Structures are given as structure tokens and as C-alpha cells.
Amino acid sequence: MSALINRQVILSSRPEGIPQAEHFRIVETAIPQPQSGQVLIRNHFLAVEPAMRGWVNAVANYSQPVGIGEVMRSFAAGEIIASQDPQLPVGTRVTGMFGWQDYAAVDVSTIDYRVDQADLPLSTSLGVLGINGITAHYGLMRIGEPKSGETVLVSTGAGAVGSCVGQIARIHGCHTVAITGGESKRQLCVDRFQYDSAVDYKREDFVEQLAAACPNGVDIYFDNTSGSISDAVMQHLNVGARVIICGTASIANWNPTPLGPRVERQLLVKRARMQGFVILDHRDHYAAARVDLADWVRRGLIRYEEEVLPSIDHAPDAIAGLYRGENLGRRLIRVVD
Amino acid sequence: MSALINRQVILSSRPEGIPQAEHFRIVETAIPQPQSGQVLIRNHFLAVEPAMRGWVNAVANYSQPVGIGEVMRSFAAGEIIASQDPQLPVGTRVTGMFGWQDYAAVDVSTIDYRVDQADLPLSTSLGVLGINGITAHYGLMRIGEPKSGETVLVSTGAGAVGSCVGQIARIHGCHTVAITGGESKRQLCVDRFQYDSAVDYKREDFVEQLAAACPNGVDIYFDNTSGSISDAVMQHLNVGARVIICGTASIANWNPTPLGPRVERQLLVKRARMQGFVILDHRDHYAAARVDLADWVRRGLIRYEEEVLPSIDHAPDAIAGLYRGENLGRRLIRVVD
């Protein structure tokens, strides 16, 4: 353990839209002591994800916003270094909402998961075996309900969630198509994430490429973007299609609500369904999803990418960077040597 | 039987948007003879419904468009007057897609339903016990899945489908709110259709009235309109809300697709679902729905209104009239004395 103090990333002002580096500052505090029923965790990895935009916005959202002056909320993975709970001895590896900081003294109830895949890197517990993989698993399997032979289309197909969705769909016998930005990510989708095809939304002929990649239409659209990408997809929905709303990464600001083509007629004519979900509602699904995901990772059926930022100094700009599309794979911050 | 000839309403040209009187003409033909496996039906009532707009539009829709020169497709109720099928003797009352005409020689498979509620008027087999009631029953019960205490909001709340939705929701212990146009329909919703409250979308203070009528938010929105009415509703969705897309009556033309506020963020944040359906997909639900509906009508738990146009001469303008909002209750055309 290199740090003798606790470095924390604090929300210093309220962003409108996407949080930028200027909305955070890093402070140094004393390492807290665990109280009765608490454990002290040394974080190893902090997570960075698109949903953090929602966590810091003032408007009513699916969780209480992070307060000004509070440690930024985040998933993290670390090791218990002091414990007031005999069930959780020192040395136990855990994940949970431990925040963007080196150390966290938390109630035991804050712990999501006691990491038990000792053969897999701890970082996977925040990615393919963590919230990303579980989000993909729940959204695709429980909302999408894929059937063999169906076409599954994924926006941000190279992302930490999207790449998992595509591969889970492939495992279930679906024809899988990624939408992604840029030729290198497009290649990554096909070569590494095993999509049947991938389409670059930045190309001028995106609409034509999309149609060509989905010759039998779209049965499931796993939507991480909203915006003009999704508008193009809606034209290709098959009868009985399911549109899973997991994120809205292409829209920088929802206040006021931006305009787009109305979806009601298409949903009616195609007897289709659009449904949003927030994985934090579905903790009862986590354990079963992790069993599947770990099995698929071990068998090479799911491949994943991680991008590890080397210190907490990278945290303030890390969310904005996601929205700039600069990352490749699950973005994490390593805070231990 | 007054007619010795068969009067038929023919689609004479292809409308864009809502079909008007000019798109139809009435012709007189010989009464057909039933072939082997067919029956000859004397229609008593012809149905008029918003979905007919979709049936005559050229764009890909949920059924093949009616051809130019063909009899207008419609539900009808009548009596078998000649039969080549011993299971369906002369005198049997039936409903089905018999078209806008006095007489129809149809394959037995065209018959939806052999009317067995002898104590209830034949016209109900096209309305509250027919496609309207069944649409309300399927949409609310199978897609909406109402729970006691939830708020159910219905656009075109005084309509043939909407009034049934509100009353079925009430039977299931829901707080029911209608959206309708004009004070007389608003009163009808409360006084006759037993809604807890009703809101007039034509009033300047509609948005405020809507909020006041749904103090606990909206759990189920049964949407027959789309457009600005639905935009106002979306702001009030509760977590886990269900939006049932049954019709889009407020939008005259979907080509090109009109713009509206994007729904993705609200669906995500509220973990909500929007789903379209077409009742013709769900014939396996009809019989069970009719049993419930007939029971509720007999017990006075569902009340209904019918508006009966007195002759087939009213057919050509009848769909356009629906979209002008001039009808009160299920619109039917009587073609028998």
C-alpha cells in the first residue's frame, strides 16, 4: 500500500449534461476507521461509466444525485484491510459502491459481491463479470429474450456492455451486428468480439451499410446511444421487435428534451416494444449472471477489453473522455501499485 | 331483407393519411352465391374504426392494403341466409371481416365468432363484446398488467376502446383518468364511463389539469392518440410504467414521420415500457375476453355507447368523421331494416 493518506475525487460543482474535469477536484484526507458493522477497503480499481452522467445531474433521475462536496459515487473493486465483521476477514476481495477514493470505510451492506473467481483478474469483477457483463446479460436475456436465428443489433457495439451483448447473443445462435464509430473499432467488433458484421456510424453511407448488414431486419436492438443512430435502426424493426434502452450516449443534454422522429406508429405497426432498465434494480439477477459470464469467459466465448488509467489523477476527465469516444474497452482507474 | 341487390363500398383511390369520402364509391352488384365450404351472410351492422386508415394506406403496415376497386375491408355482424356448411345453419348470427356491403359469400374460416349472447343486442358483438372490448381487454390486461391502486390513464377515454379500458381498470381496483376532447365528452367519461376523473385536452390548462388528475403519477398509459397529448403524459410516468400503444389518432400523416420529444431517456430513467399491439394477432384471447366482457356488461360494470349511422350511404365519410371526433360511442352502420 503506497498511500498513507486517502485521495478522494470530490464533485465540486453541478454539471449540466456531461461532467467535465472542471466539475471535480481531488482532496487528501485521513484514512477512515471502520466502525461497528463496517469494513475498511483498500480500492484497487475504480470504475468509470456513462451512467455517471446521470448520477451527478440535478434533475430527477434513477438515483439521488451525488451532493456537491461528496466523494464521486462509483463502483470499485478492492481488498478488505480491516474488518469489524468476522464473515468478511482481512484479505477478502470485494466490489461495491466504494467511490472514487483510495480507501473506503463502508457498511457491510454496501458490498455487492465477494469475488470468488480466483482464477480471473480482479479487474474483471468490475467489467465483464461485473456491472457491464451483468447489464448485458439482464438486458439481452430478460428484456430482449433472444431466439436462435434472430438478428441482434447493438449500438456502441465495441463498448464494455455492447461487446458483451453481441457475444451473449452469438452464444444463443443470433445473427449479431454492431454499430460503432470508426474503422478500428469496426474491425475490433468483427475480429475480437465475434460479431457477424459491424457498421461505422461515422461513415456517410451508414444508413445503407446498416440496411445491408441486417438483410432480415432487426429483432432486437440493444440501444446505448439514442439519437440519429437509433432513428436509422427503427426503420428496420421486424414484427415483434424488442428495443432495449440501456443508455443514451449520443445525446449530450436532455434538458429540454431533444426532438426526434416519433416512434409510436412504428411500435404499433411492428407490434414492437421499447423498454428501459437500470441494472441496480435487479440485484437478484447478479449471481446467476456471474455464473454464466465466468463460464463463457473461461471458455473463450466472451472476450473483453479493458483500458486501465494508471492513477486517480485521471479520474476528473475520465467520464468526459468516455463521451468523446476515446476509450477502447472497459475504462478503469488503477489506484494501487 | 330489403335489398335485392348487393350494395358495396369500393375503395376507388389511394388516400394519403386519413381516407375521405372521395376515396370511396358505392356500387351495386348481384348477390353472390355461396360456394362449397362457404356461407352467404346478410350483414346487419358494418363497423367503422380508426384502424381502417392503416388498412387503405399504401405503406407497409400490419395487413396487406385493401386494393383499389376492392370492397372496403371491415368487421361486420350479420345472419347466415344460405349455407354450404351443416355446422353453420341458416339463422346463425356471426361476425367477421365481411366488408362494407349488404351481402358477403365467405369461406367459413372468415367467421370470427358465432354470436352466443342471445340476451344482448347483435350490435354489441362489434363493439363492447367485439373488437373494441377485446382490444381493451387484451391491451390493458396482457400488456398493461394493472395492479390494484395503480393509476391508469386513457387517451380518447370516451371512445369505444378507451371507455372499455377505463372501466376494466376500475373493475381491477385502479384509479382511472380519461383524456378526452370537449366538456360533454368529459362529463360522459365521469358520469357514464365511471372514471375517477377526466381531463379535456382542448382546454388551455390541459397540462395543469392532467397533473392535478394524476397526483400519484401514471402507472399505465393506454395511448390511442400519440402527439402532444402523449408528450404531456410522458412527464408523469412512474417508475415501472407501461405505455400501451393502441392507436395514433391525433397524427394525420406519418409520411414523413413527424417529430416529437424523444422518449428514450424517460423510458430509461423510469424503467418504463412502450409497446404496440394489433388485436388481430391475438385471436386466441378473444373467447376468454368475451366471457369476461359479457359478464361485466350484464352486471352493469361496463357501460357502452353506440352511434348507429342509418344506411350504407354514410360509409364513405364515416372514417374521416371519426378523425374529426364527431362520433360519440362505437360507430356502426346499419344496413338492414
Q: Summarize pLDDT for A216-239 with one digit per residue, the tens.
A: 999 999 999 999 999 999 999 999
Q: Which residues does chain A have within 8 Å of residue B268's beta carbon, measured at their own beta carbons? A: 62, 245-248, 276-278
In angstroms, rounded to a whole number, what is the distance separating the alpha carbons of residues B154 and B289?
Answer: 19
Res. A1 pLDDT band, cuts 50 70 90: very low
Q: What is the CA radius of gyration of chain B?
A: 20
Cell of B69: 376497386
Q: Is residue A297 part of a domain?
A: no
Residue of chain B minimizing CA distance to A235: B257
Res A25: pLDDT: 98
Question: From chain B, which residues contact A within 8 Å (Cβ)?
Answer: 54, 60-62, 223, 226, 230, 239, 245-248, 251, 254, 256-278, 281
A245-264 average pLDDT score: 93
Percent of chain B with pLDDT over 90: 88
Q: Are B257 and A261 inside 8 Å of each other by CB?
A: yes
- Residue from the list B259, B271, B277 with its beta carbon closest to the beta carbon of A261: B259
In angstroms, rounded to a whole number, what is the distance separating the alpha carbons of residues B336 and B2?
Answer: 7
Res A97: pLDDT: 95
Q: How far is CA A278 from the centre of its chain?
A: 11
**B37 class by beta-carbon count within 10 Å (0-12 exposed, 13-18 middle, 19+ buried):** exposed
Which of A280, A295, A318 delimits the end of a domain? A280
Q: Is residue B164 part of a domain?
A: yes
Could you give the number of structural domains in chain A? Answer: 2
Domain span at residue A14 reads 6-125+305-334
Q: Is residue B300 part of a domain?
A: no
Q: Is residue B289 part of a domain?
A: no
Query: What is the SS3 assignment for chain B?
Result: CCCCCEEEEEECCCCCCCCCHHHEEEEEECCCCCCCCEEEEEEEEEECCCCHHHHHCCCCCCCCCCCCCCECCCCEEEEEEEECCCCCCCCCEEEECCCCECEEEEEHHHEEEECCCCCCCHHHHHCCCCHHHHHHHHHHHHHHCCCCCCEEEEECCCCCCHHHHHHHHHHCCCEEEEEECCHHHHHHHHHCCCCCEEEECCCCCHHHHHHHHCCCCEEEEEECCCHHHHHHHHCCEEEEEEEEECCCCCCCCCCCCCEEECCHHHHHHCCCEEEECCHHHCHHHHHHHHHHHHHHHHCCCCCCCEEEECCHHHCCCHHHHHHCCCCCCEEEEECCC
Q: Are B245 and A264 inside 8 Å of each other by CB?
A: yes
**Tens of pLDDT, residues B98-154:** 999 999 999 999 998 899 888 999 999 999 999 999 999 999 999 999 999 999 999
Q: Is residue A294 part of a domain?
A: no
Which of B280, B296, B317 delimits the end of a domain? B280
Coil, strand or helix: which one is A248? coil
In angstroms, rounded to a whole number, what is the distance separating the alpha carbons of residues B89 and B81?
Answer: 8
Cell of B175: 384509479
Same domain? A148 vs A272: yes
Res B1: pLDDT: 44
In angstroms, rounded to a whole number, what is the distance separating the alpha carbons of residues A211 and B289?
Answer: 40
Cell of A185: 473499432
Same domain? B315 vs B257: no
In angstroms, rounded to a whole number, what is the distance separating the alpha carbons of residues A7 and A12?
Answer: 15
Task: Reply yes or no on whether the pLDDT at A61 is more than 70.
Answer: no
Same domain? B14 vs B112: yes
Same domain? A201 vs A67: no
Same domain? A19 vs A82: yes
Q: Is residue A1 part of a domain?
A: no
The answer, yes or no, to whether ipTM is higher than 0.90 is: no
Task: Reply yes or no on whether the pLDDT at A154 is more than 70.
Answer: yes
In angstroms, rounded to a whole number, what is the distance separating the alpha carbons of residues A302 and A194?
Answer: 9
Q: Is residue B77 part of a domain?
A: yes
Q: What is the CA radius of gyration of chain A?
A: 20
Same domain? A24 vs A45: yes
In angstroms, rounded to a whole number, what is the distance separating the alpha carbons of residues A301 and A312?
Answer: 32
- CATH of residue A226's domain is 3.40.50.720
- Residue from the list B62, B269, B270 with its beta carbon closest to the beta carbon of A269: B62
Task: Reply yes or no on whether the pLDDT at A94 is more than 50.
Answer: yes
Same domain? A159 vs A112: no
**Tens of pLDDT, residues B40-90:** 999 999 999 988 998 998 775 667 899 999 999 999 999 999 999 999 999
Q: Are B276 and A271 inside 8 Å of each other by CB?
A: yes
Q: Which of A41, A45, A98 is nearest to A72 (CA)?
A: A98
In angstroms, rounded to a whole number, what is the distance separating the alpha carbons of residues A330 and A322?
Answer: 10
Res A60: pLDDT: 58
Percent of chain B with pLDDT over 70: 98
Q: In whole angstroms, how far apart are CA A326 and each of A16, A323, B130, B186, B199?
A: 21, 8, 57, 55, 49
Q: Compute the nearest-CA separation of A275 from chain B (Å).
A: 4
Task: Reply yes or no on whether the pLDDT at A127 is more than 60.
Answer: yes
Same domain? B38 vs B84: yes
In angstroms, rounded to a whole number, what is the distance separating the alpha carbons of residues A30 and A103?
Answer: 9
CB-based contact B317:B20 (threshold 8 Å): yes
Task: Reply yes or no on whether the pLDDT at A123 is more than 90.
Answer: yes
Residues B157, B161, B167, B171: what is their CA dihedral angle, to the nearest 10 degrees?
-140
Q: Are A268 and B260 inside 8 Å of each other by CB?
A: no
**Tens of pLDDT, residues B226-271:** 999 999 999 999 999 999 999 998 998 888 999 999 999 999 999 9
Q: The whole model's pTM is what?
A: 0.89
Q: In whole angstroms, how far apart are CA A208 and each of A181, A224, B165?
A: 16, 21, 42
Res A62: pLDDT: 63
- Lowest-pLDDT choice from A1-15, A16-30, B17-31: A1-15
Give the DSSP letter string of A35-78: -TTEEEEEEEEEE--TTHHHHH-SS--SSPPPPTTSBPP--EEE
Cell of B156: 380518447
Same domain? B139 vs B242: yes
Contacts of B241 (CB under 8 A, 6+ apart): B217, B218, B219, B220, B221, B270, B272, B273
Q: Is residue A291 part of a domain?
A: no
Coil, strand or helix: which one is A188? helix
- CATH of residue A91's domain is 3.90.180.10
Contacts of A279 (CB under 8 A, 6+ apart): A131, A134, A135, A138, A139
**Tens of pLDDT, residues A161-219:** 999 999 999 999 999 999 999 999 999 999 999 999 999 999 999 999 999 999 999 99
**Tens of pLDDT, residues A296-335:** 999 999 999 999 999 999 999 999 999 887 778 899 999 9
- Lowest-pLDDT choice from A253-257, B11-15, B256-260: A253-257
- Cis peptide bond upstream of B256, omega within 30: yes
Q: Are A254 and B265 inside 8 Å of each other by CB?
A: yes
Res B329: pLDDT: 83
- Residue from the list B230, B273, B276 with its beta carbon closest to the beta carbon of A270: B276
Q: Are B257 and A265 inside 8 Å of each other by CB?
A: yes
Q: What's the mean per-residue pLDDT of chain A?
A: 94
Q: Are A274 and B257 inside 8 Å of each other by CB?
A: no
Same domain? B83 vs B199: no
Same domain? B17 vs B151: no
CB-based contact B43:B98 (threshold 8 Å): yes
In sequence order, which ranges of chain A are alpha helices (DSSP H)?
52-56, 131-137, 162-171, 183-191, 206-213, 227-234, 264-269, 286-298, 318-323
Q: Are B272 and A272 inside 8 Å of each other by CB?
A: no
Which helix (H) or strand (E) covers residue A27, if one does?
A: strand A24-29
Q: What angle do CA A262, A263, A265 make, to 5 degrees?
A: 100
Question: From chain A, which residues contact B within 8 Å (Cβ)?
Answer: 54, 60-62, 223, 226, 230, 239, 245-248, 251, 254, 256-278, 281
Same domain? A163 vs A246: yes
